[in-house]
Structure 1
Amino acid sequence: MKYFTVEIGGRPIACFRSEDQEDAEHFFEAEDFREDLTVMLSDGKPLWDGLATLNLRDATAEEQREVDQAYEFDEDLPKEADDEFVVFLVPVSDPADDTDDEE
């Protein structure tokens, strides 16, 4: 398992695990993932404006620890899962989650 970090405009935003570089790039380039980045908010603003440069790089040791720690404490995931598990490195909120609570 390898670890990768997504940067937006040079700022590390999210980190995830993937089997290899090819799988990581496939996930990173997926329309759904990129759309999520335009919907999710940090400090009241979208994570990505659709214009800033997106970059995928190898994660640092500290970023890897963030993913491992979050994965270890996520009770919703089966521990044998090999799927990408995204950990945001900045505070985020999803407006869709807020509307679900109000219904």
Structure 2
Amino acid sequence: MFTLEIAGKAVAITNADEDQAQELFTSEEFKDDLKAFTSDGEPLWDGKAPLKVRRASEDEADAFDDAMEDDEEDLDEEDDDDEGGIDVMFLVLVDDVDDDQDDA
């Protein structure tokens, strides 16, 4: 597992391999999300601070595994065909995001 750090703060974790994590966390789409998402009213990323992808700590990996186990318990059995995908979890509290945003 790999963690995204912004200005020394662990922000997100993924179960992707190193190359996939690097590609995901540094993609323009994910960087746009980091600038749009807020925590305590502040953007997760200012667009300037360096983004660092590193191996996840044991505590971060445990938190990820716990969250994924809880999430799996909430899924219906028919949704179990999603195995093998890449998951991302934020390690900071993200303010509510308007799911009704238009991309057009």
TM-score of the alignment, normalized to the shorter chain, above 0.5 = yes
TM range (shorter): 0.7 to 0.9
- What is residue 57 of structure 2 aligned with on the other side? 60
Query: In the alignment, residue 86 of structure 2 is paired with which amino acid?
Result: E
- For structure 2, the residue ranges without an aligned partner over 5 or more in a row are none
Q: Once the two structures are superposed, what CA deviation does each residue of 1:63-103 show, in whole Å capped at 9, x if it has no partner? A: 00111111111135647522221111111024323xx4xxx
Is residue 70 of structure 1 aligned with residue 45 of structure 2?
no
Q: Is the 8 A contact 1:6 1:57 kept in 2?
A: yes
For the pair shown, the structure with the greater C-alpha radius of gyration is 2
Give RMSD over aligned pairs: 1.8
- For structure 1, the residue ranges without an aligned partner over 5 or more in a row are none
Q: Is the 8 A contact 2:26 2:51 kept in 1?
A: no
Instruction: Choose from 57, 75, 95 the match for 1:93.
Output: 95
- What is residue 84 of structure 2 aligned with on the other side? 82
Q: Is the 8 A contact 1:38 1:49 kept in 2?
A: yes
- Work out the CA distance in 2 between the residues paired with 1:78 and 1:45: 36
SS of 2:29's partner is: helix
- Work out the CA distance in 1 between the residues paired with 2:35 and 2:14: 18
Query: In the alignment, residue 9 of structure 2 is paired with which amino acid?
Result: R
Report the identity percentage. 40
Is residue 44 of structure 1 aligned with residue 46 of structure 2?
no
Question: Normalising to structure 2: TM-score of the pair?
Answer: 0.80
Q: What count of residue pairs does the alignment treat as equivalent?
A: 95
- Work out the CA distance in 2 between the residues paired with 1:7 and 1:70: 19
- What is residue 33 of structure 1 aligned with on the other side? 30
- Work out the CA distance in 2 between the residues paired with 1:56 and 1:65: 18
